[in-house]
Amino acid sequence: MANPIVLLDATMNIGPAGFDISPWLKKLELSDEFEAKKTTNYRSGGAEENKGGLESFDAALTLNQDYDAAALDEVMWALRRSTVTFAARAQQSAVTSSNPQYSGKLVITKWVPIAGNVGDVAEVEVTFPGSGPLARATAT
């Protein structure tokens, strides 16, 4: 039987000091994909054949903005244009086979310091591209 989880305490650390962005994190989406490289030939039986090519991944985040000293905006502003390490998992509890940790490097290509309509909670929506492979660990 499947064991679905409800995302209630996802966690993510980012940057050289492992800054925990979880207190501001509202949405976390890691997406990993591989290029489809066509290998179709005359013996393919009239159907396309593909092999997995280069890997790419990204992290799409929605965060509540915070301008306090040493808080979200100040830390992320300093990380712009850099490649940083990150680690994320669905639950704050220990890394296990039922709570794997995903990690790698992200390029901070965009930061949105101010966004929203009158009366909205100030939020930041960004997608950071990965650099290198996405790793998955089931133990620390």
Residue 90's alpha-carbon distances to 28, 37, 84, 108, 125, in angstroms, are 9, 31, 20, 22, 19
88 lies in which domain range?
11-36+52-137
Residue 41 maps to a domain:
no
Number of domains in the chain: 1
- The token duo for 33 is 């994909």
Express each pLDDT in 123-133 by its tens digit: 999 999 999 99
pLDDT at residue 10 tops 70? yes
Residue 22 maps to a domain:
yes
Average pLDDT, the chain: 96
Residue 80 maps to a domain:
yes
Section 68-86 average pLDDT: 97
DSSP 55-103: EEEEEEEEEE---STTSHHHHHHHHTT-EEEEEEESBSSPPBTTB-EEE
Residue 2 maps to a domain:
no
pLDDT at residue 2 tops 90? no
Residue 97 maps to a domain:
yes
pTM for the full predicted model = 0.91
Confidence band, pLDDT 50/70/90 cuts, at residue 3: confident
Residue 1 maps to a domain:
no
Report pLDDT for 81: 97
